[in-house]
Amino acid sequence: MVFARTAATAMTILIAAASMCSAGPADESPFYAENDAAMNHMMEAMNVKPTGDVDRDFTAMMIPHHQGAIDMAVAYLRYGHNEQLRRIAQEIIVEQRQEIDAMRLAVGLPPSAATAAPTQPSGGMAMQGGMSGGMHHHDQTQKDR
């Protein structure tokens, strides 16, 4: 009985240590948490029920996919340091928003309000919009069916 508790405790400690190692240094954990949240939200939002309208089904899946890229780029801008990668992240935000709007327009939806949001961090903070933007795009596409 004591051995079983000791083994269970040891296993718990090993699992905790492994998860800490896989998350990277402690100062990077907020980035990984935001990135994981963006990925999970994107995957959930891309899981749409087919409607028989291939055009709308395609946009219903691709808009959250693009928003996921935006959300990951925003997280990188909050925590990343490499200037070349920061420029790439900013380009991803601009380009993916343009593609979201192009897809929305192609199926008769208005452009998203997020297009007007800034893409440059100000005062140490990254742009506003983040995760809520993807849900708005996906929900709006679903509502307009």
For residue range 66-112, what is the model confidence (pLDDT) as tens digits? Answer: 999 999 999 999 999 999 999 999 999 999 999 999 999 999 999 98
Residue 122's DSSP bridge partners are 125
* Residue 21 CA to its chain's centroid (Å): 23
Q: For the segment 6-61, what is each residue's pLDDT rounded down to a tens digit?
A: 444 444 444 444 444 444 555 789 999 999 999 999 999 999 999 999 999 999 99
* Residue 52 CA to its chain's centroid (Å): 27
